[in-house]
Amino acid sequence: MKEIKRFLLGTSAIFGAALLAAPASAGPVSASDSFDLTLGGNIRYSFVHDSEDQTLGRGRGYRFYADEVEVWVKGSKEGDNGLLYGFEIELNASSTDNTASDESWIFVDANWGRVELGDQDDATDRMAVTGENAMVGRLGFDEDVAENFFFGAAIGAPFTTITDDATKVIYFSPRFTGFQLGASFTPDSGQSGFTRDADNDGDFENVLGAGITYVGEFGAVGVTLSAVGEWGDSEVAAPAGGANEHDLATYALGALVSFSGFSVGAGWAEHGRAGAETTTTADAGEWWNVGAGYRTGPWGFSVGYFESQINPGNRFTAKANILSFDAEYTVAPGWLVMADLSFVKARDIDAQGTDNDGHVFILSSDFVF
C-alpha cells in the first residue's frame, strides 16, 4: 500500500515537471495559439413517470426535468518534443446545478502513459466493466432509477468508487498486448476544487484506486475484462459511542463480449465493511448485474438485471433488484431519443421491514453538440 502511494506521488512529481517543461519546449506562444480549442456539450430533457408503494413525500408520480445540461471546453497542444498536454472543463448549465463545473482536469500524454490531475472520476470507476457497458440509452439500472425511486437503505445502483469527482491524480499506462494498468490517488474523498475539507467528518482519506483491463479481438468477437479495487482510511477515529469505523476496501470484476452488433456484459462488486462501526455487524454491501444489447443502424435495444444487498446494521439486510428494458433511436446527427422502463423490488429497506415495489419510466431527448 505504502509502496504504491509512493509510486503515485512520484508520478505526480513527473507530471509537475512535465508541465513546467512543456511550454518551454514548445517555444513562445501567444494567447491565441496556446491551445487548440474545441467547444461542445449536451442538453438532455426527460419525462419521468414512477409508481411505487412508498409515496409519502415522493411527489405526483411524474415530472419533467433537465437532468443533464453541460458545456465542454477542451484544449490540447503538442510540444516540439512530442509531449501532448491539455485540459477539459465541463461547465454545468442547468438552473438547478449547485456547482459551476461537473469535472475539470489537466493532462499530460506521452509514450510512458497518461497523467491527469483535477476533479475527475478515478481509475477504479473508469476501468470497471459491468453489465451497463452492453446496454443502450439510459443504461437501465444506472443511477437514473435510483434518482427516481425510494430505495431506503438498499443499494439502488452499481458503483465501484466513493471518490466521485474529488480532486485526485490519475495515471494510465500504455496498452501492451491488450493489457492496461491504471491507478489514482485521492487525498480526501470530500474535497474538490478550491474547497478545504475536514479530516474527521466521515469521508475517506489517502484513497488509492487501481485497476487492470484487457481488450482483445478473436476473429469477429471482442472481449474486455476488468479487475479493479479501491482502498482508503476512515476519517472518523472515534464516532458516537467510542467505536471505530472500518476502512475502505472495494473489489470489482467485470467482463464484456461483443459480436455482430450484440453485446453481453456482467459485473460484480464487494464493498466490505467500509464506514461501518467496528462494534456492529453492518457492512457496505455487494451487488452484481448483467446486461445484453443489440445495435443496428440508428436503433439500439437492451435488457439488464441488477441485484444488491447491504446490512446497514440494526439487524436487518436490505435487498433490491431491478429489471430494465432500454431503447434508443438516433433521429439525426447529434439528436438521440431514449426510453427506459425499469421494474423494481426493494425488500426490508429499513429496520421496520418496509418493502417498496414499482416501476420507473424515463423518456429522454438528448442533443449533443
- Give me 365's grid cell: 431527448
Name the DSSP letter for residue 128: -
Instruction: Judge whether 95 lies within some domain.
Output: yes
**How many independent structural domains does the chain possess?**
1
**Residue 258: predicted pLDDT:** 97
Name the DSSP letter for residue 246: P
- Give me 216's grid cell: 482483445
Closest of 135, 132, 124, 142 to residue 227, by C-alpha: 124
Provide the pLDDT confidence category of residue 101 given band limits of 50, 70 and 90. confident
Instruction: Judge whether 121 lies within some domain.
Output: yes
List phi, psi (to 5°) of 197.
-130, 135
Note down the domain range covering 188.
2-25+35-368
272-277-281 Cα angle (round to 5): 65
Tens digit of each residue's pLDDT (9 = 90 or more) over 320-345: 999 999 999 999 999 999 999 999 99
Instruction: Judge whether 293 lies within some domain.
Output: yes
Instruction: Judge whether 56 lies within some domain.
Output: yes
Q: At residue 337, what is the residue type? A: V
Instruction: Judge whether 169 lies within some domain.
Output: yes
Q: pTM here?
A: 0.83
For residues 95-111, give the mean pLDDT: 82
Here the CATH number for the domain that contains residue 253 is 2.40.160.10
Decide: 123 and 184 in contact? Cβ < 8 Å.
yes
Instruction: Judge whether 30 lies within some domain.
Output: no
Report CA dihedral (366, 128, 299, 156) to the nearest 10 degrees.
-70
Residue linked to cell 461542445: 40
Q: Is the pLDDT of residue 282 over 50?
A: yes
What are the beta bridge partners of residue 328?
A: 300, 338
Tens digit of each residue's pLDDT (9 = 90 or more) over 74-89: 999 988 888 899 999 9
Please tell me the distance from the alpha carbon of residue 174 to that of residue 170, in angstroms, as a whole number. 13
Decide: 163 and 186 in contact? Cβ < 8 Å.
yes
